Amino acid sequence: MTRGEIPRLALCLVWLGAISSAVAQTAGQTTPTPTPALSAKPDAKADDDANKPDALNMMVRTLITVTASRSAEEAGDIPQSINTVNAEMLAQRQPATPNALLREEVGIFSPQVGTQGSPIIRGQIGNRVLYLWNGLRINNGALFSGPNGYFNEFPMGAVDRMEVVRGPGSVQYGSDAIGGVVNIISKHGESAPGTPHWGGEVYGRYGSVNTEKSETGDVWAWVSRFSFAAGVTGQHVGDYAAPGLGHIPNTNLASEGGYFDTTWRVHGKQMLRLNWIENRRDDVVSYSQSKLNPGGIPRIITPYEERGVGRLVYEAPNLGAWSRDLRLYTYFEHFRTPRDTVVESAASFATTHAVTSQHVAGGGAQNETAIWKSVLVYGLDYRSEDLFSMKQLYTAPKVGGAIGPNAALTIPNGNVPPGSYNVFDAFLLSRWRFGKLVISAGARTESIHLQSYPRPQDALTPFTVLDLSMDKRWNPLTASAGAVYGIGRDFSLFANVASGFRAPTFSDALSTGVPVFASGIASVPSPNVQPERSLTYEGGARWNSRRFSATATVYSLQLQDVVTAVTTGTINIPGIGVVAARSNTNSGSGYVRGFETAAAFRINSKWTLLGNFTTTRGQNTFLNVPLRFIPPSNGLLAIVWQSGNGRFHVEANTTGVDRLRRHAPDDELDAGFSRDPGFGSPGATNPAYRPDFHIPGYAVANLRVAVKLWSQDRRSVDLLTDFNNLLNQRYREAYSQQQLLAPGFGAVIGCRWRF
C-alpha cells in the first residue's frame, strides 16, 4: 500500500463504520418527520407529484422562484433559464464558498479560484454578472471587471439557498445584469410561527486537501407574533495540495461571519422584518504574482476584508384587489479593505498601502397587483453610494532579505478619487395568462449619477485634477418580452428577448495603477467611457413528467459599446516604476452564443440518473478575435441512490471539461495562462502553460455519501462525506489565476446536529 492510499483508506473506513452504526439504528424506527429548518422560501404550493425528479431542481411547474420575476412565481411560467440550489443540495455538496456551490450547475462555469469567487455565466464575469443578497444589490460603483471576490464575501453558514437567472436581468435589477443574476437567499425563521418553538443546529466540517476547518451554529425561536434566527460561521482554509506538487503556498483563507433575522407580525399577515449579515476575511492572499518578489514576499497582500448588509422590510400581503403583496424596504451596506502592493528591489521594499471603503444606503417600494388575467409587479428604488480610497507609500531598506524598520512614508500620486454614485429607478414587470400561454413583459428606467471629488494627490502626471473631475449622468431604458406555451401535460416551449446594460464604474473611468492579474500593464483614467449595452435572444423547450425532466436552451447575446482597454504608451507609477499604460474606450462589440441542457431520469423509486451539458462560443466582432472568459464546453453525469426511508443518499458523478481551444489576445497577459501563475503574466522566463495558450481538458470523478445517523421528532444527526478527485487527476482550470494545478484527491467530512 502506498503512502498516499493510507489516508484514503482511513477515511473510507470512517464512513463505512458510520453507515454500519446507522443501519443498526434503523430497525424499529419510523420514517423521520420533516424538520423545520431555517428557510427563506416564499409561501409556495406543495409539490403534488413526489415522484418528479427534482435532484437537479429542473424547471418543473411546482418549483417556486422569486429572483426572475421579483415575486413568488412558478418557474415553468418564466421564459428565462433558472438554476435553484436548495438547502438539501447545499448540505450534500458541502461547499467551502458560495462560488463552489454553483460548480455543478448547468450554464455556470465556476473555477476554483481560492479567495476570489466569480462564476462565469454565458461568457460574462465580474461586473457583468449581478450579485444579490435577498434581492439587494451587492455590486456597486467600485466593482471592477474580471474575477473579483464580491461573491465569496458571505458566510456559507448563513446561506439557505441560491437562485440564478442565466441571461439578462437588467429589467428586474438594473445595471450589470448582462450575463445573469445570482441571488443569495439567507436563512430566517418561519414566516408563520404558530406553536411556540425553539431549536438550533451545529455543523462542523473538515477537508483533507486543504486542512479546511469550518464550523457553523444556528439558533431559532418563535413565539406568538415574533420569530428570531441567528447564526455564526468560522472558517480556516489552509494551502491546498496538488498532485505531485504538495501544498501550494498563498492559497489559504480565514474568515468569520454571522447573521440574524427577526420578524414581528404587526397585524394579521403584515410583518416587519429586520435582518443583517456580516463577514470578515483575514490575511487574504493570492497565488497569482506570489513569486514576483525574489525574496518570496507576495506581491499582493490583503490584511482583511469586511462586508455587512442590513435590511428593514415591511411586508403587507392581500391588502385588496390593488395590492396582492406590498413591500416597503430600506437597507444599508458597508465594505472596507486595505491592500498592500509590495515591490522588492536590490536594496529596499516599496509597499503601496491602499484603503478602500464603500457605504451604500437606499430604500424603495414594490407592489404586486392582480388585474383580470395579469399580474403586475412594479416599484421604485433609490440608493446612494459613498466611495472612498486613499494610498500611502512606505519605502523600507532590505535587512537580511526582509522588510526593515524605519520606513519612509510618502503620499504617492495616482489614486481613484473619492466620489458618489447615486441611482434612482422605476420598473414594471407583467405576466398575462391565456390558457396554456403565459406572456411576460417588463421595462425599467434608471437615472445614474457618477460624481468624483479628486484631490491633488489623486492626479498622476500627465493627468490633472481636472481630468479626474467627473459629473456624469446616464439614463438607460431596458425592456424585455417573453412567452411560455404549454403543449400537452408535460411539454412546453419558451422564448425571451431582453436588453441589458452596464453603467461605468469608478474602476472603469478613474482607475490608476497596475492590475492585479496583468503584471506590467497599468490602467489610467478614462473619464469619457460610456455604458455597455446588450440584447439577448433565447428560446428552448422543457419536458416534465413523472419519471423524466429535461430542459434545453439556445441563446444569442449581442454586445455593444463594450469597454475595452487600448494601449496609450507608458506611465511612471510611484513605488512600481515605468510600465505600459492602457485606457478604456467603448470600442468593443461582439456576441456570445451557446447551448445549455440538463436532464434527470428517475429509473425507479431509489435510483436517478442526472446530466447536464453547456457549450459557449464568443467573438469580438470589432477586432475579429475570441472574447475573453468564454468557458470551454463542460458537463456533468451523475447517478444517485436514495434509500426508501431517506436515511441514505449516495451520489457518484463525473465532471468533464473540454480543452480551451480559443483564447483572446488579452489571455496572453493573464497569469492563469502562464506556466506558473505565481510569476505573473506569461513571458520569456515564465512561458505559457501550453505553447498555443490552450488549457487541456479533463474529467474528474467524485463520490458523495450522506447518512442520517439518528432522528427523533425535530432532532437529528447527519454525517456527510465528499470524496473529490478520486483518481488524483492533474489538471488546471481555465480562468483560475490562483492555481498552479487544481486540488488533488481530498475528502470532506461534515457532521450536522439539529436540536
Q: What is the mean pLDDT of residues 385-390?
A: 94
> For 321-356, what is each residue's pLDDT tens digit?
899 999 999 999 999 999 999 999 989 999 999 999
User: When comparing pLDDT for 152 and 362, which is higher?
Assistant: 362
Over 80: is that where the pLDDT of 149 sits?
no
With contact defined as beta carbons under 8 Å apart, do 209 and 724 qualify?
yes
Tell me which H or E stretch contains 261: strand 253-267
Tell me which H or E stretch contains 617: strand 607-620
> Can you tell me the distance from the alpha carbon of 261 to that of 185, in angstroms, rounded to the nearest whole number?
12
Q: If we measure between CA atoms, which residue out of 109, 158, 151 comes closest to residue 126?
A: 151
Q: Which amino acid is at 266?
A: V
> How does residue 654 score in pLDDT terms, banded at 50, 70 and 90?
very high
Over 80: is that where the pLDDT of 49 sits?
no
Q: What is the mean pLDDT of residues 609-613?
A: 96
> For 283-312, what is each residue's pLDDT tens digit?
888 888 889 898 888 888 899 999 999 999
- Partnered with residue 288 across adjacent β-strands are none
Q: What is the mean pLDDT of residues 578-583?
A: 89
* Residue 73 burial class via C-beta count within 10 angstroms: exposed 0-12, middle 13-18, buried 19 and up: buried
What percent of the chain has pLDDT above 90? 69
Least confident range of 45-54, 274-283, 474-483, 719-728: 45-54
Q: What is the mean pLDDT of residues 586-603?
A: 96
> Can you tell me the distance from the alpha carbon of 7 to that of 3, in angstroms, rounded to the nearest whole number?
8
With contact defined as beta carbons under 8 Å apart, do 330 and 284 qualify?
no
Tell me which H or E stretch contains 508: helix 506-510
- Please count the other Cβ atoms lying within 10 Å of the Cβ belonging to residue 166: 27
Q: Which distant-in-sequence residues (6+ apart) come within 8 Å of 751 by Cβ?
A: 203, 204, 205, 717, 718, 719, 720
Task: Note the pLDDT of residue 193.
Answer: 54
With contact defined as beta carbons under 8 Å apart, do 267 and 275 qualify?
no
Task: Note the pLDDT of residue 516.
Answer: 57
Return the CATH number of 5-754, one of 3.90.190.20, 2.40.170.20, 2.60.40.10, 3.40.50.300: 2.40.170.20
Task: Note the pLDDT of residue 518.
Answer: 52
Task: Note the pLDDT of residue 296.
Answer: 85
With contact defined as beta carbons under 8 Å apart, do 698 and 731 qualify?
yes
> Can you tell me the distance from the alpha carbon of 372 to that of 321, in angstroms, rounded to the nearest whole number?
10
Q: Which pairing describes strands 73-74 and 64-65: parallel, antiparallel, or unpaired?
A: antiparallel
Over 80: is that where the pLDDT of 381 sits?
yes
Least confident range of 61-70, 221-230, 688-697: 61-70
With contact defined as beta carbons under 8 Å apart, do 107 and 122 qualify?
yes
> Can you tell me the distance from the alpha carbon of 746 to that of 98, in angstroms, rounded to the nearest whole number?
19
| Owner of C-alpha cell 413528467 | 545
> Can you tell me the distance from the alpha carbon of 230 to that of 216, in angstroms, rounded to the nearest whole number?
11
The number of CA neighbours under 13 Å toward the Cβ of 667 is 25
Residue 237: φ, ψ to 5°: -115, 120
> Can you tell me the distance from the alpha carbon of 550 to that of 596, in angstroms, rounded to the nearest whole number?
11
Task: Note the pLDDT of residue 335.
Answer: 95
Over 50: is that where the pLDDT of 48 sits?
no
- Please count the other Cβ atoms lying within 10 Å of the Cβ belonging to residue 605: 10
Task: Note the pLDDT of residue 191.
Answer: 58
User: When comparing pLDDT for 8 and 721, which is higher?
Assistant: 721
Over 90: is that where the pLDDT of 280 sits?
yes
> Can you tell me the distance from the alpha carbon of 620 to that of 601, in angstroms, rounded to the nearest whole number?
39
Over 50: is that where the pLDDT of 625 sits?
yes
| Owner of C-alpha cell 450575463 | 179
> Can you tell me the distance from the alpha carbon of 143 to that of 135, in angstroms, rounded to the nearest whole number?
18
> Can you tell me the distance from the alpha carbon of 26 to that of 646, in angstroms, rounded to the nearest whole number?
11
Compute the mean pLDDT over every residue in the chain, rounded to the nearest whole number.
88
Least confident range of 140-149, 318-327, 585-594: 140-149
> How does residue 11 score in pLDDT terms, banded at 50, 70 and 90?
very low
Task: Note the pLDDT of residue 8.
Answer: 40
Task: Note the pLDDT of residue 214.
Answer: 96
Q: Which distant-in-sequence residues (6+ apart) come within 8 Å of 653 by Cβ?
A: 104, 610, 636, 637, 638, 639, 701, 702, 704
Task: Note the pLDDT of residue 39.
Answer: 38
Q: What is the mean pLDDT of residues 37-47?
A: 36
Q: Which pairing describes strands 348-371 and 374-399: parallel, antiparallel, or unpaired?
A: antiparallel
> For 420-457, what is each residue's pLDDT tens digit?
999 999 999 999 999 999 999 999 999 999 999 999 99
Q: What is the mean pLDDT of residues 113-139?
A: 89
> For 515-537, what is each residue's pLDDT tens digit?
755 557 888 999 999 999 999 99
Over 50: is that where the pLDDT of 210 sits?
yes
> Can you tell me the distance from the alpha carbon of 692 to that of 345, in angstroms, rounded to the nearest whole number?
33
Task: Note the pLDDT of residue 738.
Answer: 79
Task: Note the pLDDT of residue 114.
Answer: 63
The number of CA neighbours under 13 Å toward the Cβ of 181 is 31
* Residue 514 burial class via C-beta count within 10 angstroms: exposed 0-12, middle 13-18, buried 19 and up: buried
